Amino acid sequence: MNGVRLNYTDRPQRGAALFAQQEWKISPKWQLYGGLRLDDTRYYGRALSPRAALVYQQSARTVYKVVYGRPFRNPSAFEQFYNDGGLSYVPAPSLRPETAQTLEASMERRLAGNWTVIVRGYRYTIERVIDAVTLASGAQQYRNTGSDATEGAEFTLGGKLWGRVEASGSSSFGHATGGLPVETLANSPAVLSKARVGVPLGNREGRWFLAGSMQYVSGAVYLDGVAVGRHDDSRPHSDGENQPPVRSAGGRPQCFEQAV
C-alpha cells in the first residue's frame, strides 16, 4: 500500500475454561452464592475470576443483594498484534489482561398490581486499562495505561398496565473517571434512561408482540474534548474490538469474562 508492505498477522487465540458454583443456605432468610472460573488462553496464560453474592430474603416481596466479582478482559487481536508499518499504528508491547473489581448492592421490591421496583448501587474499577497512546511520530500504540472507575445508581420499575400491557422504565446515574490526571472519561454519559411499552396481539399470548421504546442519553465529552448532547449523531461510532470499551453510567463493560 503506497509502497509500504503491511504485515500479515495470523494469530488465532485458543483457550479453555472451567467453572464451578456453589450455594449455601445460611438460614431461612440468608443465602450465599459463590462462583469460580479458571481460564487458560494461548497468549495470556491462566486467569482466575471469583464471584460471590449474599442474598437476604426479608419477605416474599422484598430481597436485598450484595454482589462482588473480579472479571478480566484479554487484549483483542487488534490491540496486541495489529500494525501497519508505522503509518498509523506501531506494534504493541506485550500487553497484560485488564482486570476489574465490581461491587453491587441492590433492593428488589414487588408492589401491588404485579409491579416491581429495583434500586441498585454500584462501583467498578478497572486496572491496566488498554488504550491507544499517540506517539511523537503521530502513530498510535496500544499500551496498558492506568485505571478507570465507575460509580453510580440505577432505578428500574416494571409491571403491567390494564392487565395485558407491559411497561418498564429505568434510569442510571453514574460518573466514570480515569487517566492521569484523573478526569471524566470520554464517551461516558452521566445519565441513561429507557422506557418501554408492549402488548401481545391476538388471543394467544406469546406468538406476536407489539412494543415501542424510548431512550434518553445525556451529553458526554468525546475524545477531542467537545461536549455534545444526545441528538448529535455526526461522530463515528465504535467499531467493536478496534476501540477500547466504553465506560458509561450503565454498568460494567460487556467484554469482561465473569463467573456468574
Q: Where are the domains of the chain?
A: 15-242
Q: How far is CA 149 from CA 48, 68, 239, in A?
A: 21, 15, 23
Please tell me the number of Cα atoms within 13 Å of 168 on its side-chain side.
13
| Grid coordinates given for 45 | 496464560
Among candidate residues 35, 37, 34, the one with its CA nearest the CA of residue 18: 37
Q: What percent of the chain shows pLDDT beyond 90?
A: 59
CA torsion sign for 98, 101, 107, 110 is positive
Beta-strand runs (E) in 26-136: 30-41, 45-57, 62-69, 72-73, 98-111, 115-127, 130-134
Q: Please check the confidence at residue 181 and state whether its pLDDT lies above 60.
A: yes
The CATH superfamily holding the domain 15-242 is: TonB-dependent receptor, beta-barrel domain (2.40.170.20)
CA distance 111 to 176: 32
Q: Please check the confidence at residue 213 and state whether its pLDDT lies above 90.
A: yes
| Grid coordinates given for 128 | 491496566
Q: What is the mean pLDDT of residues 215-229?
A: 67
CA distance 245 to 9: 23
Per-residue confidence band for 246, with pLDDT thresholds at 50, 70 and 90: very low
The model carries a pTM of 0.75
